[in-house]
Amino acid sequence: MPRFPIVVAYPIEDPISPAPPWSEEDIFLKSHTTLLPRRDLYTVVAFDEQTRRWYNIVSEHETPEDVDALEDPYWVDILRQTEPRTKSSSEFNRIFVEQDGSLSLSTVTPAEAGFHTIYPLSPPPSVAEHTPNISISDISARQFLWASAELAEWQGKKFVFKQILDRTDAPRLSIEAEILISLRPSPFFPNIEAFVIDEQGMMRGLLLPFLGNTIDSESVETLPLPFFRDLFLAMSDLERICKRPHGDLFARNILVSEDGKLAIIDVGNAGCDYPGDRQALADLLVDADILKKIPSDAKRKAVAWAWDKLQENWAYPSIAQGLIPDDGALYLH
């Protein structure tokens, strides 16, 4: 039996502006089928990650046999012809390609468009009784940040809105929420400011504080040594409090603020090829791009020392203490 009643929904669309020119990197083709009863017509469901919008494209175009139908550039080319990209979803979400190549734009319901990307939703986790629930309509000024994350405003302040966009996001985000709630005693992980819910009370995403830029970002010029100490302390907190790995410990999920403070995001989402937290952390410490952000030989030696101790399976707190002992001197023996 399901833990919560299961419903289906579609991603919250049409909030993002301004949008850049059309790009194949942002368009995901979700399905490609013939349009019954006419087998000479093909219909494609496309999702624009930048604008969070869904499109249904209908055409007689037949994908060549040596091309994957969901990678056929023809469909993105059709979208490009509908410039500008920022048209409202009330203007069109279906594109019909006429025999002469002209485009007819119209609006249809998701069911009429043949969208197959519905997914199960659940209420916020039961352990979140002290975290407020807010309506989708309460957030504004949404801007694309990366993948399923957006910058948004709530009560006059800026936050990160992490949205459920795909069927795999729903259970993953619930797990992440439970882990973040348990990690509230740690200063190295974001606190959930609010759960964003829809009219049925189903969770559509998390509202998180904006805590800085990823450590591989070009805007991050240097990484102070206390940052690496805190990285090991954060991993110790995760191991001690949650007794589970981070699961995705890469540079894209490690943030540094303007004053050098650490924050770790996207916890609890291990992939099948993930090498484990300790190995991922070791790989991070020898990453050439990361090393360039460590401004002195002494600091680089300290990080190299930490890498050695990882290989020797030292405990995280011991490595943190060795990097910057209480007397402030570097322990590099």
Give domain status of residue 34, yes or no: yes
Over residues 81-109, mean pLDDT: 84
Give domain status of residue 144, yes or no: yes
Q: Round the average pLDDT of the chain to a whole number and report it.
A: 85
Question: Would you call 59 helix, strand, or coil by DSSP?
Answer: strand
CA angle, corner 243, sides to 239 and 247, nearest 5?
A: 75
Confidence class of residue 92 from pLDDT cuts 50, 70 and 90?
Answer: confident
Q: Is the pLDDT of residue 167 over 80?
A: no
- Give the helix ranges, DSSP H, for 81-204: 110-113, 169-182
Confidence class of residue 326 from pLDDT cuts 50, 70 and 90?
Answer: low
Same-domain check for residues 49 and 93:
yes
CATH number, domain containing residue 249? 1.10.510.10
Same-domain check for residues 132 and 203:
yes
Q: Is the pLDDT of residue 65 over 80?
A: yes
Q: Is the pLDDT of residue 196 over 90?
A: yes
Confidence class of residue 194 from pLDDT cuts 50, 70 and 90?
Answer: very high
Same-domain check for residues 230 and 318:
yes
Give domain status of residue 3, yes or no: no
- The number of beta carbons lying within 10 Å of the beta carbon of residue 183 is 20
Whether omega for the bond prior to residue 73 falls within 30 degrees of 0, making it cis, is: no
Q: Token pair for residue 158? A: 């800026």
Q: Are 117 and 165 in contact (CB under 8 A)?
A: no
Same-domain check for residues 101 and 125:
no
Give domain status of residue 329, yes or no: no
- pLDDT for 325 equals 65
Give domain status of residue 29, yes or no: yes
Q: Is the pLDDT of residue 333 over 50?
A: no
Q: Which of 159, 187, 209 is the last residue of a domain?
A: 209
Cα separations in angstroms, 301 against 100, 108, 225, 293, 313: 67, 61, 11, 13, 19
- Identity at 304, one-letter amino acid code: A
Over residues 120-141, mean pLDDT: 85
Q: Are 247 and 171 in contact (CB under 8 A)?
A: no
- pLDDT for 160 equals 95
Specify the number of domains making up the chain: 3
Over residues 117-141, mean pLDDT: 82
Same-domain check for residues 202 and 131:
yes
Same-domain check for residues 308 and 250:
yes
Same-domain check for residues 146 and 186:
yes
What is 194-225 written as a DSSP string? Answer: EEEE-TTS-EEEEEEE---EETTSTT-----H
Q: Which of 177, 209, 241 is the last residue of a domain?
A: 209
- Identity at 247, one-letter amino acid code: G
Same-domain check for residues 193 and 292:
no
Residue ranges making up the domain that contains 234: 213-323
Q: Is the pLDDT of residue 184 over 90?
A: yes
Confidence class of residue 78 from pLDDT cuts 50, 70 and 90?
Answer: very high
- Identity at 7, one-letter amino acid code: V
Give domain status of residue 332, yes or no: no
Q: Is the pLDDT of residue 87 over 50?
A: yes
Q: Which of 209, 234, 256 is the last residue of a domain?
A: 209
Same-domain check for residues 18 and 81:
yes
Region of 11 on the Ramachandran plot (φ > 0 left; ψ -120 to 50 alpha; else beta):
beta
Give domain status of residue 333, yes or no: no
Same-domain check for residues 158 and 62:
no
Q: Token pair for residue 221? A: 């010029």
Tell me: the pLDDT tens digits for 256-285?
A: 998 889 999 999 876 667 788 999 999 999
Q: What is the rounded CA–CA span in Å between residue 301 and residue 330?
A: 10
Q: Is the pLDDT of residue 329 over 50?
A: no
Share of the chain above pLDDT 90, in %: 43
> pTM of the full predicted structure?
0.81
89 or 221, which is more confident = 221
Same-domain check for residues 217 and 203:
no
Same-domain check for residues 218 and 316:
yes
Give domain status of residue 2, yes or no: no
Q: Is the pLDDT of residue 203 over 50?
A: yes
Q: Is the pLDDT of residue 1 over 60?
A: no
Contacts from 62-69 at CB under 8 Å and sequence distance 24+? 63/32, 69/29, 69/32, 69/44
